[in-house]
Every structure is written in C-alpha cells, then in structure tokens.
Amino acid sequence: MRTLLQAVALWGKKAPSHSITAIMITDDQRTIVTGSQEGQLCLWNLSPELKISAKELLFGHSASVTCLAKARDFSKQPCIVSAAENGEMCVWNVMNGQCVEKAILPYRHTAICYYHCSFRMMGEGWLLCCGEYQDILVIDANTLAVVHTFTSSLSPDWINCMCIVHSMRIQEDSLLVVSVAGELKVWDLSLSINSIQEKQDVYEKESKFLESLNCQTIRFCTYTERLLLVVFSKCWKVYDYCDFSLLLTEVSRNGQFFAGGEVIAAHRLLIWTEDGHSYIYQLLNSGLSKSIYPADGRVLKETIYPHLLCSTSVQENKQSFPFVMGYMNERKEPFYKVLFSGDVSGRITLWHIPDVPVSKFDGSPREIPITTTWTLQDNFDKHHTVSQSLTDHFCGVKDGTETAVVTSSEYVPSLDKLICGCEDGTIIITQALNAAKAGLLEGGSLLKDSSPHKVLKGHHQSVTCLLYPHGLSSKLDQSWMVSGDRDSCVILWDIFTEKILHKFFLEAGPVTRLLMSPEKFRLRGDQIICCVCSDHSVALLHLEGKRCLLRARKHLFPVRMIKWHPVENFLIVACADDSVYIWEIETGTLERHETGERARIILNCCDDSQLLKPESVLPAASETHKHKSIEQKSSSSYQLGPIPCPALKAESSCK
C-alpha cells in the first residue's frame, strides 16, 4: 500500500527571498518567469493591462539560476528551460508549473536560444547553449541530451552572447556569437542540420575581431536586414551585416556600464545599463553619400549617428543593483512594446514603450514613466489570509523590532519536531504537526496553548546549519543535536534536557554544512561529524569523545564534495578547481594533493560521496566524463513542482 505524503510550506508575513538573476516573458505574453539566486523560479501573471501578480514558486534547482529561455513551440507546448550554476537544467510547463524534464551536465550556461526548423528537423528542436566552455553546445530540447557542438576552426573560446538570424530575404538561418575575446563568429544553421544528423564537425563560416571586450548583447535588425547591434560593457556599436563593417560607435558616459539592447524598429535602438537605466536612440544619416569615393578607391560607407529620443524613469535604489532586463515586442492586440527588468531585491518593473517615441519640442529626451512594478512582498501584503509562520507565534516583537529570523531548520519526523536556528543565535524546537495545524486552521491562540516549544541558547552568532545525527544513524543517541554558527562554533546539544553537552571552537569561517560519516565508515567503532566552513576548511568532530579529530585548512577553493575511504581511514576532499586533497584522519596530516586525471581516478574509486552545493565555480566543460558518477547518483527522489502564491500549498509529493 502506497502512502502519499503532502508537503506544505508555510511562510509568515515576510515573503521568501527571491533575488532575480534571470527574467523572460513567455510567447503568449501572459506569464513572466524569473529565476533567482536562491535557485527557485517564480511565475507571475501578466494581465492585458500590464498588471503583475505572483502565481507560483517552482523548486527544482539547488544553485543560482543563470539563464531562462523558450524550450518548445509555445503555441503547442508552453514550456521554458532554466539552467543553474551547478549544471542543472530543467524544462518547465508554465501552465501547471510541473518540471517535465531534468538533467545535470558539467556545463555552466549563461545564454540559451531555442531553434527549430519545421521543414528540415524532426523532434522538438535544439537548445543552442553558450557559457563557461568552448564554443556552442547543441542540446536536444526534448531529452536535454548533448547532441553536437559547434566548434571553431580558429581561436576557440568561451562565448559571451549569441543570437539567431532569420533572414526572410534569403530564407536562411544563421547563428551569430561573440566570444570573450571580442571575436564575432557566424555558423550557418540551415546547412548544419544535415551535418549534425550525420555526426560531422560543424565549423564557423565567418569570423571577425570587433576590437572590444565584455560583449553583453548581439541583435540583428529584422526590419532592414542590414544592421547589427553589438553592445559591450563600455560602448555599443552598429555594423553592416553584409560585410560586418563598422558604422557607429557610442561610448558610455558618466561611468555607466551597458548591459544589453534591442532593435525596436527600423533605425531605432533601445539600450539599457547595469543600473536599470535605458535609452531609445534614432539612427540618423550624417549626410555623407555612398557615391563619394576616397583616394584608395574603396566605397565610403554612409555614416550614421545616434539621436537620443527618450529615457526611462528609474526608482533609484543601490540595494537593487544589478538589474537584469529584457524587451518584448507584442505581436497581438493590444500591440504593446514592453521593456521589463528584475533586480536582486525581487522587484519586477515594466515600461510601456510608445510605438513612435519622440523627444520634446526643444529636442531634449522625453522620460518614459514606469508602468507597473511589483514584488513577492506586495502579494503577501495584498492577501491578508496568508498563513503565519510557525515562528511568528513564539518570536514576537521586542522593542518595536521583530526577533528570531530563521536562518536554518531541521525536521525530525521520528520526534515530530521542527528545529529552527535563528539569526540571533537561539534555537527553537517545536512540535511540527501541531504547530502546522494551529497555524493553518485554528489560529495562533491554539498554538500558544497546545504546542509548547523549547528555546536553546548557546550561540552568540547566527545559526547557519543543523544536524540530527540519530536521523542518519540509529546507533547514535536519540537526544543529540548538532548546530553550527557564523562564528565557527559547533555545539552538541541534548534536546530533551536542553543542555549543552560540548562546544567545539573551529577557529575558521562560518559553518556552512554538517555531514555525518557513512554507516560503514567507523573510527574506533564510532561515527564522526564533518564540518565544512566558508573559508574552505573542513573539520572532523568525534561526538562520543567530544574532541576535534582533524582541521583541514589547506584547500584553496570551495569544497565541492566529501568522500570517505573506510579501509585507509582517509577523508577525501574535492574542491571546485577539480583538485583533490587526501587527509589521514588519525594523524591529521595531508597525505596527498592531486589534480587532473589522478584526481578523477581517486574520486571514482571511492564510494559514499556527499555532494555539496557549489558556490560559484563549475568544472571545465571539456572534462565531461568525470561527472558520470555524480549524474548516476543524482536521480531525483521527489517530483519537482510548484508552490502557489500566496496560499503556498505544495503540489509536489516527497518520498
């Protein structure tokens, strides 16, 4: 008989953090999708009147989201794809919020373009991906498997940005990219379809150095089929698409850095900056004629210059920096042209761009006002029926300020206990089921009366992580609980008597993870606790002996994985630079430090890997095979799904 467990998430009056790192609007212009630094996606309803309201939170990524893109023919299947820093890729149905496909690849994508040619291709099409690896990956949009690679015959490099050019005039498709070194490359998509199906190498047909770095955006003018906009961080340029000759260079002023741009009409451009400002330019003819021939006999290109028509108003807030922005040219009624942005505070802002933007009578730029702005917190404030957090009832307010912001939590099913570590250093233990019932159904008064809670005080800094050892090993004491804080202090508690059994002072960075050694790995018959700290150090604690066995401090990069070697009593630490450190636990000495192929062999020879959440570094893409063991062990034990806002009732089922 199968038992279905219903997962329920409760937030209090404060919305969950959603620091926007990627934003897009779906093809039907009804949904805004945002990816966040916290890993979750949010779906927002967009009304025909350009009003915004949060709809669902989607949980599927364990790292920051780097990019979003369309993943299907939206009229047939309303799907988008998201990619995260740790190589996770998910395809989501934005109508019901379900994850329909997931894969983990050893690539960090920074941009994805969907491509499908109905009369030449079978299946759902391709996801053309670029990022922190050489050239372009071709990924099957249906299975998320790597199909092929667009490679460079000259100067292969990471790609900063790309765009697909659909030429109606010649009925051919091309892929334009700009590398980190500033080289423009062109691949012929139409001709490459057969080559990819036949597993042949596909090389670029043209390349040109653009003599600028940090390219942010490349866009083709579909209105003229002649102009090419390329935005760099310190300038933006316009090229002639026919021969890639330079027509215009506009350098940034006042220390601003450009972040992107779009061609919104024939000879009209929209450029935006990292701090959320945007400008609309009209490209004007300088008056030079193509019939003038210079001394060297070449035809003199007709030069153009930009005239600033409009700029957008911005809510100045330094805490919102940086912004991620995009542009939508709506093809259906009511024919809106919309500029949209998201920031690290979780705020979405929309501007309705007029069809014919004009400057003022005196020629100065006109300001376009903000049309709509919205946050998750606005949703929580709007709906007064939002359930209270479990901690709202026993945290309270002191001296006019809220106390006990929860920074970590641990659920203990065997005891029906919810353990919450707080920002002020306290640890709160309450009965989880009664607290949830009271918060959802009967209100706070019942919670205070019928759900007693304990408050443990011992930390002087924010509690960063919690561990209930008995939940991982039945041989350990049922009363033990371990907590770590920002001051690198680890405390062993007796949660029944509320007493501190021992304090470990690691003299390192904040404790980010607490891990238990595997059942079969025993040091003198006992299991041990592994503490990973933010300064890349690792410590091993013997709970029964109340002593620190090992302080490993020589790691130069963030710790990515912990492995145990039971025969030799080795602790194997894999770091984000793909190096491996082997520590002898009994003596506390560094046995070996390996990199490259030797490091991969060592990792593949050890079982019981404990994969940690990556911070900001991902392995090189060329070393695909070293992640095979990780991919095999990363099959999801739960169904990824949405949590609606603001009621926030989970639709996913957990094992």
pLDDT score at 276: 85
The residue-averaged pLDDT of 534-553 equals 89
Residues 486 and 569 occupy one common structural domain: no
The answer to whether residue 626 scores a pLDDT higher than 60 is: no
CA distance 83 to 141: 13
Is residue 648 predicted with pLDDT exceeding 60? no
- State residue 130's pLDDT score: 93
pLDDT band, residue 173 (cuts 50/70/90): confident
Whether 263 is covered by a domain: the verdict is no
pLDDT band at 558 (very low <50, low <70, confident <90, very high): confident
Answer yes or no: is 328 within a domain: no
pLDDT of 597 higher than 60: yes
pLDDT of residue 369: 92
- Checking if the pLDDT of 627 tops 60, the result is no
Question: What integer pLDDT is reported at residue 291 of this predicted model?
Answer: 42
Residues 410 and 547 in one domain: yes
Portion of the chain with pLDDT greater than 90, in percent: 33
Q: What is d(CA 492, CA 486) in angstroms, rounded to the nearest whole number?
A: 16
Q: What is the mean pLDDT of residues 532-559?
A: 89
The predicted pLDDT at position 127 comes to: 93
Residues 474 and 576 grouped into a single domain: no
Banded pLDDT at 125 (limits 50, 70, 90): confident
- Same domain membership, residue 578 and residue 434: no
133's CB contacts (< 8 A; 6+ apart) are 107, 108, 158, 620, 621, 622
Quick check: 13 pLDDT over 90? Answer: no
Helix (H) or strand (E) holding 393: helix 392-395
Residue type, 309: L
- Omega before 322 within 30 of 0, i.e. cis: yes
Per the CB < 8 A criterion, the answer to whether 556 and 581 are in contact is no
Residue 57 above 80 pLDDT?
yes
> What CATH number does residue 497 fall under?
2.130.10.10
Better pLDDT: 618 or 520: 520
Write out the DSSP string of 608-645.
Answer: --EEPPP-S----TT-GGGGHHHHHT---SB--EEEET
Q: Last residue of some domain: 521, 537, 553?
A: 553
> What pLDDT does 131 receive?
92
Domain that holds residue 591: 556-606
Of 25-34, 126-135, 179-188, 636-645, the least confident:
636-645
Check whether 264 has a pLDDT greater than 50. yes
- Give the pLDDT of residue 32: 94
Q: What's the rounded Cα separation, in Å, for the pair 407 and 404?
A: 9
Q: How far apart are CA 294 and CA 230, in angstroms?
A: 27
Asked whether residue 100 is domain-assigned, the answer is no
Q: Between β-strands 65-70 and 426-431, what pairing exists: parallel, antiparallel or unpaired?
A: unpaired
Instruction: Tell me, yes or no, whether 561 and 531 share the same domain.
Output: no
Domain assignment present for residue 632? The answer is no
Rounded average pLDDT over 256-267: 90
Q: Are residues 583 and 497 part of one domain? A: no
Confidence class of residue 418 from pLDDT cuts 50, 70 and 90? confident
Q: Write the CB contacts of 124 (distance below 8 Å, at least 6 apart in sequence).
A: 71, 72, 73, 77, 116, 140, 141, 142
Among residues 570, 556, 553, 557, which one has the least CA distance to residue 605?
570
Residue 158 covered by a domain = no
Give the model's pLDDT for residue 430: 85
Pairing outcome for strands 323-329 and 348-353:
unpaired
Least confident of 9-13, 374-378, 444-448: 444-448
Is the entire prediction scored with pTM above 0.85?
A: no
Does residue 431 lie in a domain region? yes
The answer to whether residue 625 scores a pLDDT higher than 50 is no
Q: Which of 16, 93, 30 is nearest to 645 (CA)?
A: 16
Is pLDDT at 303 greater than 60 in this prediction? yes
Per-residue pLDDT of 79-97, as tens digits, reads: 999 999 988 999 999 998 8
What pLDDT score does 121 carry? 66
pLDDT for the residue 632:
32
pLDDT score of 608 more than 50? yes
Query: Which of the given ranges, 38-47, 333-342, 633-642, has the highest pLDDT on average?
Result: 38-47
Domain shared by 583 and 491, yes or no? no
pLDDT value at 395 more than 70: no
User: What would the mean pLDDT of 37-51 be, rounded to a whole number?
Assistant: 91
Residue 452 has what pLDDT?
A: 66
Residue for token pair 């929309």? 350
Indicate whether 565 belongs to any domain. Answer: yes
In this structure, the answer to whether residues 549 and 574 fall within a common structural domain is no
Place of tokens 């083709």: 220
Q: What is the pLDDT of residue 620?
A: 33
The structure tokens listed for 603 are 């990792």
Task: For residues 511 and 562, state if they share a domain.
Answer: no
Q: What is the mean pLDDT of the chain?
A: 80
Residue 62: which pLDDT band, with cuts at 50, 70 and 90? confident
* Shared domain check, 546 and 405: yes
Residue 320 placed within a domain:
no
Please identify, among 553, 580, 596, the residue that sits at the C-terminal boundary of a domain: 553
Is 402 or 134 the better-scoring residue by pLDDT?
134
pLDDT single digits (tens) 488-530:
999 999 999 999 999 999 989 899 999 988 877 766 667 889 9
User: Do 463 and 542 fall within a single domain?
Assistant: yes
Q: Which residues contact 2 (CB under 8 A, 6 or more apart)?
A: none
Q: Return the structure tokens found at 539.
A: 């410590």
593 and 481, same domain (yes or no): no
- Counting the structural domains of the chain, the total is 2
Q: What is the pLDDT of residue 217?
A: 94
Asked if pLDDT for residue 41 goes beyond 90, the answer is: yes
The confidence band for 615, taking pLDDT boundaries of 50, 70 and 90, is very low
Q: How sure is the predictor about 403, in pLDDT bands with cuts at 50, 70 and 90? A: low
Predicted confidence (pLDDT) per residue in 211-236, tens digit? 888 999 999 998 888 889 999 999 99
Q: How many CB atoms lie within 10 A of CB 159?
A: 27
